[in-house]
Amino acid sequence: MNFISSVLKMTCPRCRKGELFVKPMKLSRPLLMHKRCSVCNQNFEPEVGFYYGAMFISYVFIAITSLLIVGTCVFLFKLSVEISFGILLFFLALIFIWNLRFSRSFWIHIIMRQRKQ
């Protein structure tokens, strides 16, 4: 499994086999993560506040996605700005929890990769 598929499947950044998040996901706690990898014992929270950087990943992802969706709707499909933003809000509501989890997965993979080198 390569880096990108490990990020998208939300698996351990070291062994790429253990799960980052507790399954099944509960809507009351969508970001509940295991403390350590069940396969290689990698610590998933190396320091307090470790995942603050994931907020910036989330922000950039949502900004780019928003520009692409609204731009496509307005310029390609010739929809009004109001309808385009309605479509955007609907799409963002659908991916909200996935985006939070993806951002954390991406963040831990980037940081752990840097610490290996």
* pLDDT for position 114: 80
pTM over 0.85: yes
Using the CB atoms, write b or e for 46-78: b if 16+ within 10 Å. Answer: eeeeebebbeebbeeebeeebeebbeebeeeee
pLDDT in tens, the chain (117 residues): 799 999 999 999 999 999 999 999 998 999 999 999 999 999 999 899 999 999 999 999 999 999 999 999 999 999 999 999 999 999 999 999 999 999 999 999 999 988 775
* pLDDT for position 73: 98
* pLDDT for position 52: 94
Report the distance separating Cα 34 and Cα 115, nearest Å. 20
* pLDDT for position 117: 56
Spatial contact of 34 and 83, defined as CB atoms under 8 Å apart: no
Model confidence over 14-26: pLDDT tens digits? Answer: 999 999 999 999 9
Alpha-carbon distance values, 69 to 44, 60, 78, 105, 112 (Å):
33, 14, 12, 24, 32
Residue 33 φ/ψ, nearest 5 degrees: -115, 155
* pLDDT for position 22: 95
* pLDDT for position 1: 75
